[in-house]
Structure 1
Amino acid sequence: MDMSTTHVLPDIDAYRAELVRLVMRRATEPGAFETAIAPLHFFRCDSPSDLIHTLYQPALCLIVQGRKEARLWDERYVYDPLNYLVVSVTLPVAGQVIEASPDAPYLGIRLDIDPAEIAQLIADTGPVGLSGESSRGLFVERIDATLLDTMLRLVRLLDTPRDIAMLAPLALRELHYRMLRGRHGRRLYEIAVADTQTHRVTRAIEWLNRHYAKPLRIEELARLSNLSSSTLHHRFKAVTAMSPLQYQKQLRLQEARRLLINEGLDVAGAGYRVGYESPSQFSREYSRQFGCAPSKDVERLRQSA
């Protein structure tokens, strides 16, 4: 018998059970919930959800009950209470809760990651011991008792508000340290330290997020990133699973969908607002992305809501 497993698993089960109680106490109904600790957010869902397309910011996503699937381009990542997901760069992702019920709701924790804090931590501790390779800006990792214990101590602080200002920064720093020293720590290192190729790719990602409606010229984007066009294309796809053009298209279509649903724009107006000059091209690409024409998609979503 593996004695280390005998000792670790009961700790993980106990930590998770307490986290379920703490999150349920604040997430009393389906929805998203901010907390008194700014980077910390809770989520609850009482039934499996539709596929939701959104822009994931750098974050640690931990499930304490239920299961969820994240889709990045043509890749799928399923995670549950035994595995956590980390997003190290801004990415257009489709997410779907796949296991939840009123008796056992999906309960999730998101901890926003600030690359500046990672950079400061590296400056203080040095890069010694970093493992893993720089690759995709999204990964799933097996949970361990140490990281779960640190997260639990952070969440417990919500019950003692007077301790948050002093102790939350320590717990947050420890969580960043645990991720940085984990198997995929180099991915966080690469986005935080200037002049790595991945950090330069993040400049291109940030530019696209701000200027997705503008025509994309790879040469200009490469110049902005201080990379050759071929290196930018290669590294961009390694980090995001998409080419810059495919990434831009995801941003455009997600924003167009928001404009159609939340602001009531017509199909041609939404397409034009996000950079499409041809309404027919916009409708074709929208249909491929979301499974039906824009007008039908909006009607379906409103009926579902």
Structure 2
Amino acid sequence: MKTEQLDRYREEIKSRIGAEFRGENAISTPVDELSFYYSSTPTNMLATIYEPSICVIVQGSKEVGVDEELIPYDPNMYLLASVHMPARVRITEATESRPYMGLTVTFSMEQIFDVLKEVGRSSNPSKGAKRGLYFGDMQPRLLDPVARLVRLLETPEDIPVLAPLITKEILYNVMRDEGGDFIRQYVMDGSATQRVVKAITKIKDEFREALQVKELAHHVGMSESSLYANFKKITGMSPLQFQKSLRLQEARQLLMSRDVEAAEVAFEVGYESPSQFSREYARMFGLPPKTDTRL
């Protein structure tokens, strides 16, 4: 029964992703929280940053690099990100006849706090946790509201009212699972982890600005050494490395979506030196920025 239910939801979602595919691997939708992903070929390992979200595969598979470990990830699992979390990903199973298809539903911190207030605490251990990512077993009660969120694309007039409610339902079902305890450790008021989350949010919101770690530590109520140690424990990066990763990810999106010179993008994301930008871009993505320009 469980397998049949999951297969039915997956077929529905695959049909919608196929209908939305227009040649771009990443597909935005009228539901702001919902994005689709499509690939007819495996990919090389790429750096990415997960937002607070749940990620679902409905066909194909991929690997996610966390620490020095590569974690296989397929339709029988879901990936939960609790913070903006750097990782490495590659699609491992995809063909023209059976392309990789997946989706992401993002959550705001306000939504997470609202659901936590209603759900309360649980004693389930988060055995699937890997730093800021959690890998859980897919269940029909979770894929059902995901499919209904996708179904809203057929009735755009319902999206403003129903999308937030269904997104909350998805988050509620995550919280009822072991993933709930995983998220709780990142939002417990006053904890070192929650302060690092606050630091991550500030860096994300101001990634174009010069980062002063001393000021950041003061802002979140930690010493510089404590912030550095806990930040690296959660993200695998220092605050400055995390900011650089955010800048480069944003730069790549700009280069691939707009007719703009690499030097212009370098300044736009906060770099003062285009040559330094080019070096760090090539180090992160394996190719110089001009490779991704549309010019």
Specify the TM-score bucket, using the shorter chain as the normaliser. Answer: 0.7 to 0.9
Cross-structure match for 1:3: none
* Greater Cα shift, 58-67 or 96-105: 96-105
Q: Give the match's secondary structure for 1:103.
A: coil
| Residue in 1 that maps onto 2:32 | 38
Moved more, 242-251 or 48-57: 48-57
The match for 2:56 is: 62
Q: Quick check: 1:288 aligned with 2:283? A: yes
Larger CA deviation: 16-25 vs 125-134:
125-134
Q: Where does residue 266 of structure 2 map in the other structure?
A: 270
Deviation sequence 1:4-49 (CA, Å, 0-9, x none): xxx4223323332332223323336544333343312222222233
**Structure 2 residues not aligned, in runs of 5+:** none
Counterpart in the other structure of 2:290: 298
* Partner residue of 1:85 out of 79, 84, 89: 79
Q: Distance in 2 between matches of 1:234 and 1:257?
A: 29
For the pair shown, which has the larger CA radius of gyration, 1 or 2?
Answer: 1
Cα shift readout 1:113-141 (whole Å, capped 9, x = no counterpart): 11211111122232245643887222322
Q: Give the alignment of 1:181-200 within 5 angstroms.
A: 181-200=176-195
Match of residue 230 from structure 1: 225
* Percent of residue pairs bearing the same amino acid type: 35
Question: Is the Cα–Cα contact under 8 Å of residues 64 and 72 in structure 2 kept in the other structure?
Answer: yes
CA contact (8 A) 2:59 2:101 kept: yes
Gaps of 5+ in 1: 1-6
RMSD after superposition:
3.4
Equivalent residues, number: 292
Contact residue 148 and residue 166 of structure 2 kept, 8 A = yes
Q: 1:221 to 1:57 in 2, by over 3 A?
A: same
Q: Does structure 1 retain, via aligned residues, the 8 Å contact 2:52–2:106?
A: yes
Tell me by how many angstroms 1:240 deviates. 1.0
Query: Could you say if the C-alpha distance between residues 165 and 290 of structure 1 is closer, same or farther in structure 2, counting changes exceeding 3 Å?
Result: closer
Conserved? CA contact 1:116–1:192, under 8 Å = no
Pick closer, same or farther for the CA change 1:271–1:182 going to 2, 3 Å.
same
Amino acid at match of 2:4: P
Bigger mean CA deviation after superposition, 194-203 or 132-141: 132-141
For residues 116-172 of structure 1, the C-alpha deviation after alignment (integer angstroms, 9 at most, x for no partner) is 111111222322456438872223222122212232233234334565555444432
Shift of 1:277: 5.9
Shift of the 191–25 alpha-carbon distance from structure 1 to 2, 3 Å rule, reads: same
SS in 2 for 1:220: helix
With over 3 angstroms needed to count, the CA separation of the structure-2 counterparts of 1:24 and 1:289, relative to structure 1, is closer
* Structure 1 residue 65: Cα displacement: 0.9
Map Cα deviations across residues 93-113 of structure 1 (whole Å, 9 max, x no partner). 444333222211221111111
> Taking structure 2 as the reference length, what is the TM-score of the superposition?
0.80
Amino acid of the residue matched to residue 50 of structure 2? Y
Could you tell me which residue of structure 1 aligns to residue 119 of structure 2?
A: 125
**Contact (CA 8 Å) 1:50, 1:97: kept in 2 or not?**
yes
Residue in structure 2 matched with residue 24 of structure 1 by the alignment: 18
Counterparts of 1:24-173 in structure 2, within 5 Å, are: 24-27=18-21, 29-72=23-66, 74-129=68-123, 131-132=125-126, 136-161=131-156, 164=159, 167-173=162-168
